[in-house]
Amino acid sequence: MSHNTFGHLFRVTTWGESHGAALGCIVDGCPPGIRFTRQDIQAELDRRRPGQSRFVTQRREPDEIKVLSGFLLDEQDGETMVTTGTPIAMMIENVDQRSKDYGEIARQYRPGHADYTYDVKYGLRDYRGGGRSSARETAARVAAGAIARKVVPGLTVRGALISVGEKAIDRGRWNWNFVDDPENPFFTPDPGSVPVFTEYLDRVRKAGSSVGAVVEVVAEGVPAGLGAPVYAKLDQDIASGLMSINAVKGVEIGNGFEAARITGEENADEMRMGNDGEPVFLSNHAGGILGGISTGQPVVARFAVKPTSSILTPRRSIDKDGNDVEVRTKGRHDPCVGIRAVPIGEAMVACVIADHYLRHRGQTGKG
Amino acid sequence: MSHNTFGHLFRVTTWGESHGAALGCIVDGCPPGIRFTRQDIQAELDRRRPGQSRFVTQRREPDEIKVLSGFLLDEQDGETMVTTGTPIAMMIENVDQRSKDYGEIARQYRPGHADYTYDVKYGLRDYRGGGRSSARETAARVAAGAIARKVVPGLTVRGALISVGEKAIDRGRWNWNFVDDPENPFFTPDPGSVPVFTEYLDRVRKAGSSVGAVVEVVAEGVPAGLGAPVYAKLDQDIASGLMSINAVKGVEIGNGFEAARITGEENADEMRMGNDGEPVFLSNHAGGILGGISTGQPVVARFAVKPTSSILTPRRSIDKDGNDVEVRTKGRHDPCVGIRAVPIGEAMVACVIADHYLRHRGQTGKG
Amino acid sequence: MSHNTFGHLFRVTTWGESHGAALGCIVDGCPPGIRFTRQDIQAELDRRRPGQSRFVTQRREPDEIKVLSGFLLDEQDGETMVTTGTPIAMMIENVDQRSKDYGEIARQYRPGHADYTYDVKYGLRDYRGGGRSSARETAARVAAGAIARKVVPGLTVRGALISVGEKAIDRGRWNWNFVDDPENPFFTPDPGSVPVFTEYLDRVRKAGSSVGAVVEVVAEGVPAGLGAPVYAKLDQDIASGLMSINAVKGVEIGNGFEAARITGEENADEMRMGNDGEPVFLSNHAGGILGGISTGQPVVARFAVKPTSSILTPRRSIDKDGNDVEVRTKGRHDPCVGIRAVPIGEAMVACVIADHYLRHRGQTGKG
Amino acid sequence: MSHNTFGHLFRVTTWGESHGAALGCIVDGCPPGIRFTRQDIQAELDRRRPGQSRFVTQRREPDEIKVLSGFLLDEQDGETMVTTGTPIAMMIENVDQRSKDYGEIARQYRPGHADYTYDVKYGLRDYRGGGRSSARETAARVAAGAIARKVVPGLTVRGALISVGEKAIDRGRWNWNFVDDPENPFFTPDPGSVPVFTEYLDRVRKAGSSVGAVVEVVAEGVPAGLGAPVYAKLDQDIASGLMSINAVKGVEIGNGFEAARITGEENADEMRMGNDGEPVFLSNHAGGILGGISTGQPVVARFAVKPTSSILTPRRSIDKDGNDVEVRTKGRHDPCVGIRAVPIGEAMVACVIADHYLRHRGQTGKG
């Protein structure tokens, strides 16, 4: 990964700022003949879109995707896009910019934000909504991920919110079908967590505060053999992809940090031959990856999202001129940015798997 | 990162198997005029070397480094190597191979190892000591890291073991000087942890079992401004580098997963102007990185190492022919591979920082 | 270079087809603080634009550039764009598509075109105007090159047409000022060549035929030290960049193929210390590059463009169904695509030099 | 290509100087299961080896290759190496270094050499035999190429010397079998050229002079569909690979610069359906590549090698201290380095094709 591009054969480049004219991405290296509709992509974007509940930022952005290149329309239905193997450019125009909101913090460094580091690095920064470091950039990832999902036959990538601040789900009540239920504002897989999270986040929001969250992403249908033993480990590239999401401070694969606390006997995933003559793993502590290479089990990753740094409570900071100041971030912000990170995490995992699928096919001829 | 190379301007490529003739690395893109001695590198390798205590594998490898290219000898002292800007090739010969040890598991898939995934991916595998997935590969990283440490003026990268299985250090007793004390077989920064870890690991070793560990790496002297806001985040590349180490299952930056549990007020690192006219952060929850870019504070990363999968307790598995088998791994193995991961983690962090230092200088002219 | 991206630190990714909605590019890694106007870019595009004389394709495209991201407007003049160090996205909408022109060749493989190879590679192709292989893609290069020119202080990159088919300029009459003269439809530096080329190309055009051309690009103000001795030679990357332009079949640096015919004495560029204490080369057979590294002299490259394959004269070919056919390409085509290749060649050379400038600064701290 | 690595999926990294301990390469990304012997590689190196006739440098280097990693020995014959998919490290020790030969030019900049540019770029240089810019580096390419040849089923890559200074072969007498004939010191395909070249080069050598040469490389058995339409054109990557060879100043594909002189009718390669139901091209002006993608015809490339700059005739230059000097290069040098460039050119073309073969398979699943 470098600059604003990630991936080797399936490559994604994103561009655009919070308050510029538009943002977008180029998906390069997509195999030819992949079929998708604009609606396939829009549906993923709608899941990430702000303004859908009181727990996420109230910025109103339709996030309408335009697909500008890289496809031929199916002549039969006039709607299905068929990839040609050339770069797929997608664009989303910024509509609700309200840049005046940000006026007063143009010279202040908000604690926890990239304001100070930008100024140190570049000598200037786009203070409007965080510029390039805005979470709006992640819309482009979600669009790319919608294509990636189509690249690997049989692949399903789903994510869920498993904790918010001090509150966690009950994994015993895990129900994938509930995650995208219209009654579920949290992408939680546990219906019982909704009232708990609601009460908790209402309190946080009213206090002008924010909390973090943990998201789990599970990829099923990942063929065994993706990845490589050293610097192209599948888990390494997933970690890289998830850590590249704004506000992510930790990533783990399978049982993750728990693996450091248990014994080798407890951690081993034993195997037996199944009745169908295929190997069967009796557990999945490894999260579907051994030695950097997928086992064919579900790939499981989790990531921790810090609380948004835009809070109403004043915090001490400095400004561009070297004055001590108090910073209080008004405007439209998520009390828990982790919620909307669910489709973003899915998209990153899907893109990494698609890339490794093509790389594996390249090196070995398999797949 | 791709295949067996990582980095963009400071690039490291490693090669070699556990039971081949040798292993090594190429450090490409090192600036000219960097001065080092063979002993600078050997000293780092000696810290990682097996066979130094009963808690690490008893394989006897001198791990003697040869520097084959990329330098001119200083004409004054005839010993100091001065980099020329061309690739630095380094090599370590394998000495103590005892490949017969591995004979009986040539056709079995050891649970938790890469045996099964290798066969699925490549259709064949080097069963002698894990082949390319052996931890011996990490010696090459340590050698590369020894060069990387010289590239960034004023950089210090240190690591420490902070927990072993269920046992953790007391951070209140943290003492960097103790980490490399000859009386310290664990790289622990807490002298009080030595008897606790000793007793615990003796028990694990005698039980033929193994445990995991958590390692913390701290880089001081990292200039502010390294990294980039989207897909070249400094924390992302550190996560990628640490997750590429064998047996690592989780990575976190700063307060990491803890950040997901606290509020925005608690998590914010406030700032004030210092007496010397330089900005001062009042805390470092962020681990020295905001928005993917270094703040100038110490960069703090932690990673979780799973228990080694080579244990004496029999585990159920299958073999290459599809038979159910019981696997019991004899031979020389670490009861806790996490201990020796300390210098490896340091090396990866040093290499990533060196790469970003050069990239930052390239794009901005600073540094 | 890979897929649709080239460069390492200064990276250009292009997208778009001849008959899609738009085409564009992302310039990633541009240093912050570079100042340019939309008109700086538009002016370069206008030089490449079709429809300006009867010797180039009559397709009418305004080629109006939109700059979508990566800049802040200068608050003083409200017009100058100041780069922020983030990706610069630029877009050109396709206006004059007339896709019906191409209807009859949708199933035929035009000799000399990429029609057959596309179908073999991708299993499908965008037959409308050549799809991704259309020369319209080069507009995106020219836009990127306009930014690249600003990155290296003091850099000037100029190109000129030095031969058309059997007709060549007289180098003794070389006049850079004439190249962009409104009376010069050819980018020739030799005023005397205009009537010769005019008469010749009129004859070619009326015959429904086409001819090739040779273009020379000269970069002045290239600092000494750019490039690297082995696989990042400056001349190698220039060759790669020029050969990536549609229809280019040969590239040479300095005296090029002539170097293979002369002796070492004749070819050597001798040096003397100049009166100002700076080294002076007494000739420039090397084209400003020795051992892959720039000398500080002008960098000189030439490339050969084949005659466009779209001609009125019928040629034998086959179609997608395996039938023998006669192909005669009607529509709007250049009798000599080499003419419009001049600004494209300049753009590629500028981008390669900008990339090496940043890489050199990264590795060595110089520049 | 970057630094000292080229290729994307089939990646080659080389290291080593003329007068260091050794030189070598890493071939990374080679598919598993490829079978070769050490002798397959040695045979290619022997073709490139110096000291084989009076027309090439008299430095005596056995150039004995060691294969250090990336293979398992075939258990049947104990000799055939079978690739495992992990990096193949190869090394050649430098034996005949005689570094005293170079003593007197340690501070002088030899015209036509990289001496001056190295000092400007790096601030220091390895003056012993050119250091990293020595043609000895190309031995590593030849070793890598020997592996690449095995990667693409049915691929044959052959090269030939087609001109030396002012003397050219008669293409009508082209005989591939003669190229490697023991009686042929020139890799010429024209037996009639041997006395002509001999007489000519003897004269050049006795005069203490040198001349350039042109080499042609032809790859047969290249599957149709390799390459990509924009910045991964097969011809572009071949041009890049050939231009990265020391002393190369020009590259052309197919009819190359000649294409710029002829008409579209003359240049078009017409097609017909063959009796076997496969498309047949009636000519190959394109050199087997259309729109950057291979047609299935032989891929034909040519490159121009300048005369070696190490000549006995004194040339004017300067030294490191800014003094005007006369340089006369004694020592062991080729009167025509182009001769030994034949196997090097073959190796580069083979590596590029192998890389594109894997990339094509990755993106499209074909091959």
pLDDT tens for each residue of B241-256:
999 999 999 999 999 9
> What chains are in contact with A, requiring at least 3 Cβ pairs below 8 Å?
B, C, D
B173 CA: distance to closest CA in chain D (Å): 44
| Set of chain B residues whose Cβ sits within 8 Å of the Cβ of A330 | none
Contacts of B132 in chain D (CB under 8 A): 84, 86-87
- Chain A hits for B132, Cβ within 8 Å: 229-230
Residue ranges of B 277-296 with Cβ closer than 8 A to chain A: 277, 279, 282, 286-287, 289-296
Q: How far is CA D222 from CA C63, C109, D77, D287, in A?
A: 38, 20, 31, 12
Chain C residues with CB under 8 Å of B86 CB are 229-230
How is residue C28 written in tokens?
A: 């990633």
Angstrom distances, CA of residue D60 to CA of D46, D49, D53, D63, D337: 12, 9, 11, 9, 16
Structure tokens at B49: 């070397």
A367 pLDDT band, cuts 50/70/90, is confident
The number of C-alpha atoms within 13 Å of B345 and in the hemisphere containing its C-beta is 32
Report the DSSP pairing between strands B81-83 and B71-73. Answer: antiparallel
Q: Which of B113, B272, B322 minimises the CB distance to A290?
A: B113
- Tell if the CB–CB gap between A249 and B251 is shorter than 8 Å: no
D155 three-class SS: coil
Which residue shows structure tokens 């050649």?
A: D92
Q: Which residues of chain C have pLDDT under 70?
A: 1-2, 51-52, 56-59, 97-104, 331-333
CA torsion angle B35 B38 B41 B42 (round to 10): -160
What one-letter code names the amino acid at A105?
Answer: I
Any idea of the CA torsion for C220, C224, C226, C230, to the nearest 10 degrees? 120
Both tokens of residue A334? 């998520």
- Cross-chain Cβ contact A249/B287 below 8 Å: yes
The pTM score is: 0.96
Judging contacts by C-beta atoms under 8 Å, the chain A residues touching residue D229 are 86
| 3-state SS, residue C38 | helix
CA dist C302 and C242 (Å) reads 9
* C136–chain B Cβ distance below 8 A for any pair: no
User: If you count residue pairs, one on A and one on D, with CB atoms under 8 Å apart, how many are there?
Assistant: 44
Close Cβ partners of C98 (under 8 Å, ≥ 6 residues apart): C59
- Side-chain-side CA neighbours of D20 within 13 Å: the count stands at 32
Instruction: Write down the pLDDT at residue C1.
Output: 46
* Number of neighbours of residue D199 by Cβ within 10 angstroms: 11
**Least confident stretch, B117-131, C149-163, D135-149:** B117-131
Q: Which residue of C has its CA nearest to B230?
A: C86
Give residue A1's pLDDT. Answer: 45
Q: Is the dihedral of CA C337, C116, A7, B359 positive or negative?
A: negative
Residue C42 near chain D (CB below 8 Å): no
CA distance B340 to D62: 41
Which of B278, B277, B300 has its CA nearest to residue B287? B300
Does position A99 have pLDDT exceeding 60, yes or no? no
**Closest A-chain CA to D11:** A363
Helix (H, G, I), strand (E, B) or coil at A196: helix
Q: Residue A142 is inside which H or E element, if any? A: helix A137-151
- Is the pLDDT at D1 greater than 50, yes or no? no
**D252 to chain C: nearest residue by CA?**
C250
The answer to whether the beta carbons of residues B139 and B45 sit under 8 Å apart is yes
**Are B252 and A251 a contacting pair at CB < 8 A?**
yes
Say how far apart CA B349 and CA B10 lie, in whole Å: 12
Give chain A's largest Cα–Cα span: 71
Name the closest residue on chain A to residue B3, using Cα atoms: A232
Strands (DSSP E) contained in chain B are 5-6, 11-16, 22-28, 35-36, 65-67, 71-73, 81-83, 88-93, 156-164, 167-168, 213-220, 248-253, 271-273, 279-281, 289-290, 293-294, 299-305, 315-318, 324-327
Which residue in chain D has the smallest CA separation from C13? D231
Query: pLDDT tens digits, residue range B130-187?
Result: 889 888 999 999 999 999 999 999 999 999 999 999 999 999 999 999 999 989 999 9
Read off the pLDDT of each residue in A317-339 and give the average, rounded to a whole number.
86
Q: How many Å apart are CA B167 and CA B174, to the nearest integer?
A: 15
SS3 C111: coil
* Among A24-28, A93-97, B340-344, the least confident range: A93-97
The C-alpha atoms of residue D292 and residue D229 are separated, in whole angstroms, by 5
**% of residues, chain A, pLDDT over 70:** 94
Which tens digits make up the pLDDT trace of A216-247? 999 999 999 999 999 999 999 999 999 999 99
For chain C, say whether D133 makes contact (Cβ under 8 Å): yes
What span, in angstroms and rounded, lies between the C-alpha atoms of B79 and B74? 6
Interface contacts A/B by beta carbons within 8 Å: 378
| Span between the terminal Cα atoms of chain A, in Å | 24
Look at the block and give the residue holding tokens 């990538």.
A157
Q: Which of residues 173-202 of A touch B (CB under 8 A)?
A: none
- Nearest chain A residue to C86 by CA distance is A132
* CA neighbor of C261 nearest in space, from D215, D306, D345, D200: D306
Q: Decide if B298 touches C, using CB distance below 8 A.
A: no
* Ramachandran region, residue B112 (left: φ > 0; alpha: ψ -120 to 50; beta: rest): left
Whether D99 has a pLDDT exceeding 70, the answer reads no
pLDDT-wise least confident of A42-56, A78-92, B203-217, D246-260: A42-56
**Around Cβ C30, how many Cβ atoms within 10 Å?**
28
Which of B24, B85, B121 is the closest to D89 by Cβ?
A: B24
For the segment A113-142, the average pLDDT, to the nearest whole number, is: 90
DSSP B175-234: -HHHHT-TT-TT--S-TTHHHHHHHHHHHHHHTT--B-EEEEEEEESPPTT-B-SSTT-H
Looking at the complex, report in whole angstroms how far the Cα of residue B357 sits from the nearest Cα belonging to chain C.
8
Residues B162/B214, Cβ–Cβ less than 8 Å: yes
C-beta atoms of D363 and A367 within 8 A:
no
Q: Report which of A143, D292, D271 is spatially closest to residue C132, judged by C-alpha positions.
A: D292
Chains in contact with C, counting 3 or more C-beta pairs less than 8 Å apart as contact: A, B, D
**Any CB–CB contact under 8 A between D363 and chain A?**
yes
pLDDT in tens, B28-73: 999 999 999 999 999 999 998 876 677 766 667 789 999 999 999 9
Instruction: Give the closest-approach CA distance of C225 to chain A in angstroms.
Output: 24
Mark A318-351 as b/e (b = at least 16 C-beta within 10 Å): bbeeeeebebbbebbbbbbbbbbbbbbbbbbbbb
DSSP-derived secondary structure for D222-258: PPTT-B-SSTT-HHHHHHHHHHTSTTEEEEEETTGGG
B/D interface, count of CB pairs below 8 Å? 137
Question: Mean pLDDT for chain D?
Answer: 93
Sort out which chain A residues have CB atoms less than 8 A from B279's CB and list them: 109, 116, 318, 322
Best residue of D18, D26, D118 to probe chain B, by most B CBs closer than 10 Å: D26
The mean pLDDT value for D66-71 works out to: 97
Q: CB-hemisphere CA count at 13 Å for D133? A: 29
Does the CB of C367 have a partner CB in chain B at under 8 Å? yes
What pLDDT sits at residue D125?
84
- Token pair 């020219």: residue: C142
Q: According to the model, what pLDDT value does residue D305 have?
A: 98
* Element spanning B352, H or E: helix B341-364
The full DSSP string for C261-307 is GSBHHHH---EEE-TTSSEEES--TTTTEETTEE-SSPEEEEEEEPP
Which residue has 């011809």 as its token pair? D235
pLDDT of res. D97: 65
Could you tell me if C209 lies within 8 Å of chain D, comparing CB atoms?
yes
Instruction: Sort out which chain D residues have CB atoms less than 8 A from B65's CB and list them.
Output: none
- DSSP states of B221-269: SPPTT-B-SSTT-HHHHHHHHHHTSTTEEEEEETTGGGGGGSBHHHH--
Contact D277/C322, CB-based, under 8 Å? yes
Is residue A309 over pLDDT 90? no
- Complex ipTM: 0.96
- Token pair of B14 as six digits: 């490693």
- The C residues from 149 to 168 touching D (CB cutoff 8 Å) are 163, 165-166
CB contact under 8 A, D87 and B15: yes
Which residues on chain A are in Cβ contact (under 8 Å) with B294? 117
Residue that has been written with the tokens 């490191």 in this structure: D320
- Nearest residue on chain D to B19, judged by CA atoms? D69
Residue C128 CA to residue A294 CA, distance in Å, equals 41
Rg (CA), chain D: 21
**A170: β partners:** none
Chain mean position to CA B208: 25
State phi, psi for A16 to the nearest 5 degrees.
Answer: 115, 150
Taking CB atoms and an 8 Å cutoff, what residues of chain B touch A122? 364
Q: What is the mean pLDDT of chain A?
A: 93
